[in-house]
């Protein structure tokens, strides 16, 4: 690596977070900041968060979907919304119910979801796939090899979860999802294309 | 029944049933089946214009209710004799309702989180997503030309008598989708790598055309004579999903 000018690491961190369109993982920060320990970086992040919390700033540094990202403060939301010119679209009740079932019971097939909701879900499933909130985890090794669905990284971002373990625990729901974190997919489960970050 | 309900208000038959249980202040573990069946059917009767698919979903549960009701009417003695413990005919339905209710509540929580989260704005993605948008972006003649090149490269069929292989287009469709699920986009030619015989190549090509027609995959060619890339049309950018490994 060429010799780089001596720049305050906090400034570098701020720049990285600024240019990234997805949450930046700790691993990526370590890679780019070369030679800084994780503890140091954790300290930098905490320092940055502290600075944001002070008045006169419009940004926050949040931990979400396995990484860190800059977001605008809730109190400036009305102006950001005016600036962007669109109101964020909310998911329908049907979409949220379907998403909840997938989140807690993944990997799960379409017929299994339909059995719980008592309705067909073709349209809803298509919307969720198109919005990248769910993804295909593989196929269930049974007749018809139905597709297994699970939640995506965008799902975590969308609801502000660091990871799936942050899904709110609901009455009796743990017994339904013994392995919310350890996704047990069939042997045939397909991996993910593309690289993170 | 004094209240008016419209079926569009409900997310399905179970939602309606839960509503009826709630407004009648019924104990879900001890549902008066006769009463609830009557009310449920009365609600269905208000459906003037029938959306057949929706109606079907509501009717399935109506049938279930009627079946439970009739089983409840059979005197208990008649079922004895077999040494089976008496099972409440309502049990299965109650379990379904309870499970549905859990997720209905979970959905409400997600709804709140969504509203809260929508106050935080993040940078918008500027790069084009790897999933192709819009319809077919390569002409059919270009696709055919590319396919002709592949067929020409395939070994000539030798004059052996072989039992016809059972190759189906739908099988090849699954293969194409599976490959694209692993990696998208893929060069057109790569999709034909595994296929040996001409029959297989043709089946794969037909499968690709069918997938394009259904909008499940997309094909693009950035310049004339350039390589045709095939994209899956659904599923996002892939990548890390944030699940602990």
Q: What is the pLDDT of residues B91-118, one digit of tens each?
A: 889 999 999 999 999 999 999 999 999 9
Q: What pLDDT shows up at residue A191? A: 39
Q: Which of residues 74-133 of B touch A (CB under 8 A)?
A: 96, 99-100, 102-111, 113-127, 130
Q: Which one of 1.10.10.580, 1.10.1740.10, 3.40.50.12780, 1.10.10.10 gives the CATH number of domain B140-232?
A: 1.10.10.580
pLDDT tens digits in sequence order for chain A, 197 residues long: 567 778 888 899 999 999 988 899 999 999 898 888 899 999 999 999 998 888 889 999 999 988 999 999 999 999 999 998 878 889 999 999 999 999 999 999 999 999 999 999 988 998 898 888 999 888 888 888 888 999 999 999 999 999 998 888 866 544 444 443 333 333 333 334 333 33
> In the predicted model, what is the mean pLDDT of residues B119-139?
62
What is the pLDDT confidence band of residue B161, given thresholds at 50, 70 and 90? Answer: low
Select from A101, A130, A136 the Cβ nearest to the Cβ of B103.
A101
Domains of chain B by residue range: 7-117, 140-232
Select from A62, A168, A195 the Cβ nearest to the Cβ of B239.
A195
What is the pLDDT confidence band of residue B129, given thresholds at 50, 70 and 90? Answer: very low
- The residue of chain A nearest to residue B54, with distances taken between CA atoms, is A119
Between CA B109 and CA B102 the distance in angstroms is 11
Q: What pLDDT shows up at residue B18? A: 93
Q: What pLDDT shows up at residue B65? A: 92
Q: What pLDDT shows up at residue A58? A: 92
Q: What pLDDT shows up at residue B74? A: 78
C-alpha separations of B70 from B31, B32, B59, B64, B73 in Å:
14, 13, 16, 10, 5
Place of tokens 């940004």: A59
Mean of the per-residue pLDDT values of chain B: 77
Q: What pLDDT shows up at residue B14? A: 94
Beta bridge partners of B137: B220
Sorted by where each starts, the structural domains of chain A and their CATH numbers stand as: 9-84 (1.10.10.10), 93-166 (1.10.10.10)
Contact state of B111 with A151 under an 8 Å Cβ cutoff: no
Residue A12 CB coordination number (10 Å): 16
Do B215 and B133 meet the contact criterion of CB atoms below 8 Å apart?
no
Q: Are strands A108-109 and A147-151 parallel, antiparallel or unpaired?
A: antiparallel
Q: What pLDDT shows up at residue A21? A: 85
Contact state of B238 with A103 under an 8 Å Cβ cutoff: no
Q: What pLDDT shows up at residue A24? A: 93
Contact state of B238 with A135 under an 8 Å Cβ cutoff: yes
Select from A70, A101, A104 the Cβ nearest to the Cβ of B122.
A70
Between CA B184 and CA A193 the distance in angstroms is 7
Between CA A97 and CA A141 the distance in angstroms is 26
């Amino acid at each position: 690596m060429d010799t780089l000018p001596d720049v305050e690491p906090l400034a570098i961190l701020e720049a990285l977070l600024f240019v990234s369109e997805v949450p930046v993982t700790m691993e990526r920060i370590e890679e780019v900041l070369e030679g800084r320990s994780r503890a140091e970086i954790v300290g930098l992040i905490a320092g940055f968060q502290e600075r944001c919390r002070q008045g006169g700033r419009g940004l926050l540094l949040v931990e979400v979907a396995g990484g860190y990202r800059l977001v605008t403060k809730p109190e400036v939301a009305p102006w950001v919304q005016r600036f962007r010119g669109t109101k964020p679209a909310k998911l329908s009740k049907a979409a949220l119910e379907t998403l909840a079932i997938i989140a807690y019971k993944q990997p799960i097939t379409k017929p299994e979801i339909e059995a719980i909701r008592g309705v067909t879900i073709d349209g809803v499933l298509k919307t969720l796939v198109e919005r990248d909130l769910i993804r295909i985890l593989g196929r269930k090794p049974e007749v018809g090899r139905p597709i297994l669905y699970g939640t995506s990284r965008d799902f975590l971002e969308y609801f502000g979860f660091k990871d799936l373990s942050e899904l709110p625990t609901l009455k009796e729901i743990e017994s339904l999802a013994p392995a919310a974190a350890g996704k047990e997919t069939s042997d045939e489960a397909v991996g993910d294309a593309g690289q993170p970050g | 029944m004094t209240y008016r309900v419209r079926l569009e208000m409900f997310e399905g038959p179970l939602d309606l049933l839960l509503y009826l249980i709630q407004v009648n202040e019924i104990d879900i573990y001890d549902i008066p089946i006769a009463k609830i069946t009557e009310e449920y059917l009365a609600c269905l009767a208000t459906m003037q214009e029938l959306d057949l698919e929706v109606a079907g979903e509501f009717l399935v549960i109506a049938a279930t209710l009627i079946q439970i009701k009739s089983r409840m009417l059979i005197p208990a003695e008649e079922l004895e004799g077999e040494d089976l413990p008496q099972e409440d005919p309502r049990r299965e339905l109650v379990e379904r309702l309870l499970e549905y209710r859990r997720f209905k509540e979970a959905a409400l929580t997600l709804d709140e989180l969504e509203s809260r989260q929508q106050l935080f704005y993040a940078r918008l993605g500027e790069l084009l997503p790897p999933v192709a948008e819009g319809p077919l972006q390569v002409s059919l003649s270009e696709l055919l030309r590319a396919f002709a090149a592949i067929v020409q490269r395939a070994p000539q069929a030798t004059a052996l008598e072989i039992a016809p292989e059972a190759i189906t287009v739908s099988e090849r469709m699954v293969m194409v989708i599976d490959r694209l699920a692993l990696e998208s986009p893929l060069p057109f030619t790569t999709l034909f790598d595994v296929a040996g015989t001409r029959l297989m190549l043709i089946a794969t090509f037909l499968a690709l055309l069918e997938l394009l027609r259904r909008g499940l995959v997309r094909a693009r060619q950035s310049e004339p004579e350039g390589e045709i890339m095939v994209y899956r049309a659904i599923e996002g950018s892939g990548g890390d999903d944030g699940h602990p490994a």
